[in-house]
Structure 1
Amino acid sequence: MPAFAYKALDSRGKNKNGVLEGDTPRQIRQQLREKSLIPVEVNQVAQEKTQSAKPKLFSSRSTKISVADLSLLTRQLATLIESALPIEEALLAVAEQCEKPKHKNMMMAVRSRVVEGHPLAKAMSDFPRVFDTLYRAMVSAGERSGHLDTVLSRLADYTEKRHRTSGQISQALIYPIVMLLVAVSVVILLLTAVVPKIVGQFDTMGQELPLATRILIGISDFLQNYGIIAGILIAILILLTNRVLQIPRIELAWHKRLLFLPVIGKLARGTNTARFAQTLSILSASAVPLLESMRIAGNVLENKHLQNLVAEAAIKVKEGSSFRAALENTKVFPPMMMHMIASGERSGELQQMLARAADNQERELESTISIALKIFEPMLIVTMAAIVLFIVMAILMPILALNNSVGL
């Protein structure tokens, strides 16, 4: 039975929004009248295009929720299905617990598709920005194997871990970003407000200023006269660069180069290989075939060049190559991960070894990020100290020269 999102007015003229199930919009309007509500607008949930020119109440393509909310929904659904509750009833219970209207509408739409006889994975495909390819593939595997509750529990663990990891990275980046912003602000303030007042006194000296002082005065004058224009131009340059990097050919070349840059390349490889190992591990544990798992795990990678390498590795596996040999030819994945995969293939415990490889890659990524931040912080402090020292010396040098000339 389809779900419909409605707008209505109560007896006091106040707006009421919600979702009801019915066969037609006319039936929904009748239900609203029976509740003493005046229907204003009724649209089917998850409907992409309406026949009228009126704006949609709800669009499945525009729906997007946070990782934390998705984790909560998945955990609730897994718990209810583990309790032997039918899927449609579990979806209804989850929808009723949703505090945000969009989330409630989404779950009601998924439920309506399930009630119509569609598989849960198919019903979730109406919301690709919420339930991605990985999510739907695992749900489909769980439905086929009859272990949907176990698969959903793994999915909940995966989304919670992803949310926790992204939170840790964000927290770790807050301090250096704040330091960088403060440092740049202090330098700009010195050059535009403090330095001009001091160096203005040098005009009466009647002698040639040292090179460092002239450079400092030039930078200060430039920022005062053209600072805003320079900032706008830099912003435009960043936007143009971002646009250019979206061109497929250029984006692919940039992503390939990115993997082998100092420090940044190690972070990029660590992030992508950790995500690949995590995704492959959870898909393998959910009984998704290896080739399908490789395809899905490759698609969730951020680096386009690495996506192509994984796709080529999948072709080699299909042609009969071992999983380890196919990945090793990419020359991107770390040796430890290759050894663990090889061990899993020989022993027949590839699923367990993939899980260990995923944990190992997560630890390596956290260590790499920690080291990178520890390198960045002292480098920023040293750079700031050098800039401040240059400003101070550029100001003191003509003063010292004047004192020496007076002393003579």
Structure 2
Amino acid sequence: MRLYWYQAMTSEGASVRGSGEHIDLNDLVSALSAQGLQPYRVWSLPTWLNVLVLRPLKPAAVTEFCHLMASHVRAGADLRLALAEAAASASTTRLRMLCARLKRSVERGDTLSQALDQTKVFPPMLSQLVVVGQETGRLGTILAMAAAQFEQMRQLRNALLRALIYPALVLAVLVVSGLYWLLMVLPKMAALFESLRVQLPPTTVWVMKVAEGMKANVASLPLVLGGVLLLLVLLIRLPAMKPVFHALYWWLPGVRELERARVYHAFFSHLSAMHGAGLTLSRTLAVLMQQPLNQFFGGRIGRIGAHAARGQSLAEGLGSTRVFERFALSLVRLGENTGTLDEQSTRLSEHYAQKLKQQIETGTRLFEPVLLLVLAAVLLLVGSTMLGPVYDLASRASAGIQP
């Protein structure tokens, strides 16, 4: 998918402007022709910039799409009618355009899962769930389950973002205050000490050199920071770097607890939905291994297929990956022995969702003592940098006024 801007002419000769996401130029021309428009000027961003501009759909939009489609399909509408109704009733312009794009793809003979994959903005797992729904004849039920799952993921994501607002604001205040102290206050104090011939301690001399270097390059500092942030965003979104970052998320202390709870929640939620829809266990595992949320986790669960081929149970296969907790393995084993694997998977999904919420709350509470330590370090730096010269100056002044 690429983002295009265009100028087109209506049948009455009026000129209109617009933009949209399309696979290529032919797809754009076809979409405009269906609306009675004839494009005469089209332009788009370079491919590498499209990676930054065309972001995946937000969880709220994915939830709305699944809910709209589930409602119409369960009411008896076929895919084309359901997509047409979704395109007419979606709450955002982007989602309406995507639904219309999906409708055109289905009319050309593509399956709904193929059309979803072509957009490259829907979650990969959604297209896999659609395949399951079409294979089992329960597309409406599967989409309703998917809507509930994506809504729960959206709520967890929003809870995490809300928890990060306060730390981000405090960190921004600390950074701005530190830069102001380095660039504005410290040089003036250093000039005063130098004029009075005060002996400066090594810490003050080192901080002064840092401040002088930053002040000399203050014009290029925003460009450097912006370039570093842009490079970091490109690296994170580069497909070749995803395995590296996913492995870091899985093992990095402080982050791994959140990442593992998120991945476990999604895994068992999808396992419950697909197996509960009547899909065989081998087919369910094949779908789950195709599009994992974390590629490091996906590489580990890829071993399950070999164990299943040898006739081992799901619990034994999950245990061989060495990435699942004993609690999860025990419930999966219980579900297999009692025929309640769907219920146990749902219970595990809810357990990890609750665990993720608790970890977010715990992290927020732990931030306050960490903030106190950071403030103490800042005060220590200020004290070691400024109080020594001030004490020396006061001692000299006191000695000078003695009779």
TM-score range, shorter chain: 0.7 to 0.9
1:129 pairs with 2:121: yes
- TM-score calculated relative to the size of structure 1: 0.78
Cα distance change on mapping 1:29 and 1:78 into 2, 3 Å: closer
User: In 2, Cα distance between the equivalents of 1:208 and 1:194?
Assistant: 19
Aligned ranges 1:15-94 → 2 under 5 Å:
15=16, 32=36, 39-41=37-39, 64-94=56-86
Question: After the TM superposition, which residues 200-279 of structure 1 pair with which residues of structure 2 at under 5 Å, given as runs?
Answer: 200-226=191-217, 252=243, 255-256=246-247, 258-279=249-270
Counterparts of 1:127 and 1:254, CA distance in 2 = 24
Q: How many Å apart are 1:401 and its aligned residue?
A: 2.0
Show the counterpart of 2:278.
287
Q: Which moved more, 1:121-130 or 1:315-324?
A: 121-130
**Does the Cα contact within 8 Å between 2:199 and 2:392 map onto a contact in 1?**
no
Letter in 2 for 1:142: G
Structure 1 residues 214, 349: closer, same or farther in 2, change over 3 A? same
Aligned to 1:169: 160
Instruction: Report the AA paired with residue 346 of structure 1.
Output: N
Give the SS at the match of 2:38: strand
Give CA-to-partner distance per residue, 1:114-169, whole Å, 9 cap, x none. 45665543454443432x44222322322333322211211111122222221221
Q: Which residue of 2 is the match for residue 357 of structure 1?
A: 348
2:335 matched residue in structure 1: 344
2-structure distance, mates of 1:123, 1:249: 25
Comparing 168-177 with 354-363, greater Cα deviation is found at: 168-177
Q: Which SS does the other structure have where 2:119 is aligned?
A: coil
Which residue in 2 is equivalent to 1:48?
none
Q: Which runs of 5+ in 1 are unaligned?
A: 20-24, 33-38, 43-52
| Cα separation, partners in 2 of 1:252 and 1:383, compared to 1, 3 Å | same
Preserved CA contact (<8 Å) 2:303 2:320: no
- Amino acid corresponding to residue 68 of structure 1 in structure 2: A
- TM-aligned CA deviation for residue 374 of structure 1: 2.6
Q: 1:165–1:116: structure 2 CA closer, same or farther, 3 Å change rule?
A: same
Q: Do the aligned partners of 2:7 and 2:16 also contact (CA within 8 Å) in 1?
A: no
Query: Quick check: 1:98 aligned with 2:90?
Result: yes
Residues in 2 aligned to 1:106 and 1:250: alpha-carbon distance in whole angstroms: 28
Secondary structure, in 3 states, of the residue corresponding to 2:324?
coil
Out of 401, 404, 407, which is 2:392 matched to? 401
Range with greater deviation from structure 2 (138-147 or 318-327): 138-147
TM-score normalised to the size of structure 2?
Answer: 0.79
CA distance in 2, matches of 1:197, 1:63: 46
Q: 1:179 to 1:299 in 2, by over 3 A?
A: farther
Shift in Å, 1:351: 0.9
Q: 1:9, 1:16 within 8 Å by CA — same for their partners in 2?
A: no
RMSD (Å) for aligned C-alpha atoms: 3.7
Number of the residue aligned with 2:317: 326
Q: Give 5+ residue unaligned stretches, structure 2.
A: 1-5, 21-28, 45-50
Aligned residues: 377
Query: Which 10-residue stretch deviates more, 337-346 or 205-214?
Result: 205-214
